[in-house]
Homo-oligomer: A and B are copies of this chain.
Amino acid sequence: MTDSPFQDPDTRTELSALGEFGLITRIAERIQLQQASSVKGIGDDAAVIDPQGMHQVVTTDMLVEGIHFDLAYSPLMHLGYKAIVVNLSDVYAMNAEPRQVTVALGLSNRFPVEAVDELYAGMLLACGNYGVDLVGGDTTASRSGLIISITAIGAVKREDIIYRSGAGSSDLLVVSGDLGGAYMGLQVLEREKAVFKETGAQPDLVGHDYIIERQLKPEARKDIIALLHTLDVRPTSMIDISDGLASEAMHLARASGVGVRIHDDKLPIDPTTYSTARDFNLDPSTCALNGGEDYELLFTIAQADYVKVKGNPSITVIGHMTDPDRGFTLVDKNGGEHPLQAQGWDALLKRG
């Protein structure tokens, strides 16, 4: 664990030795376009995309060092992978297929060419795994640390787009995978960083592999989109979980003009997440509701589709939508009702 990698002058190549155009050439040489829709990638004033008769979806996320990631425990390759994945997750949440990304990087002179190589290796690994082309971007200096801004573009037939606003007042609320793991992974990493700072002890991450991977190298749920297609289930509304389940459920409800009830005892929580939360004296349900960064898909389906999803291990019905006047409610294990509460950016800010 260190926050100063690439210090050895013998293995360190300064970015200034390569220059901007040298860096662009170096990146472009490692890219092979895979998508027939990618007409022109890096190397002109703009990339060119053939939409092939489809609608296009566009989403942008910015990741800032010290706010969204800490290089003391985020390997650059994982960070590159995650930076791509969080954008693809937004594309899947529209029921679209991601096809292209552009990458804007701000780099302080702390980062040598080798660091940029690792970051791109992670980004290109994610692009390869998801069948996406890196078609353009910008690389610039930064006065303080690393900034990554990615735009992802996807394609979808107009009639297949799923918005946040389509939930009906009696629809079921469904989530993929399990929740709270990324947040607990972060807690473990922060604890071990603090120990390292105090004692110099290398981190003890034994038994926490799953939740640490959830934090450092999440995946976007491409497989869930395929599963829903196979099951012949078309969600009425959909969103991906970046800020936290509670926040996203309220987004779906507000956008659709309905209420929502989530049942605490239905929340899918991995045993590792559960036991780690207990070790930290945290309520596992709160971690699942507000932890964020799970990048699972949250969606609503018509009640008639319940038989199609029932018992599927990849997705869990965790509640249902209601008439709007019933508001946003969390039902606890004893049947008690509580107002659903969301954290968002402000909580994230505190983390920074």
Contact = CB atoms under 8 A, between A and B. Distances in A.
A328 to B, nearest CB: 14
A94 B144 contact: no
Contacts of A348: 141
20 contacts: A16-B349, A20-B344, A20-B346, A21-B344, A39-B55, A39-B158, A45-B93, A45-B238, A46-B93, A48-B56, A51-B54, A51-B56, A59-B102, A59-B136, A60-B136, A60-B137, A62-B105, A64-B140, A64-B142, A67-B141
Interface in A80-122: 90-91, 93-94, 96, 100, 102-106
Interface of A: 16, 19-21, 39-40, 43-51, 53-68, 90-91, 93-94, 96, 100, 102-106, 135-145, 147, 149, 151-154, 158, 161, 163-165, 238-240, 255, 344-346, 348-349, 352
B147 A46 contact: no
Contacts of A158: 39, 50
Nearest to A135: B58
A143 B239 CA distance: 29
Contact of A46 (B59, B62, B106): B59
B100 A19 contact: no
B102 A58 contact: yes
A147 B146 CA distance: 11
Contacts of A144: 143-145
Contacts of A94: 44-46, 48
Nearest to A250: B21
A91 B348 CA distance: 35
A101 to B, nearest CB: 10
A91 B46 contact: yes
A83 to B, nearest CB: 12
Q: Which of A91, A100, A136, A154 has the most CB of B within 10 A?
A: A136
A79 to B, nearest CB: 15
Given A44-B164, A141-B67, A163-B40, A62 B149 contact: yes
Contacts of A344: 19-21
Given A21-B344, A62-B106, A105-B62, A46 B142 contact: no
Contacts of A40: 163
Given A90-B46, A94-B45, A56 B56 contact: yes
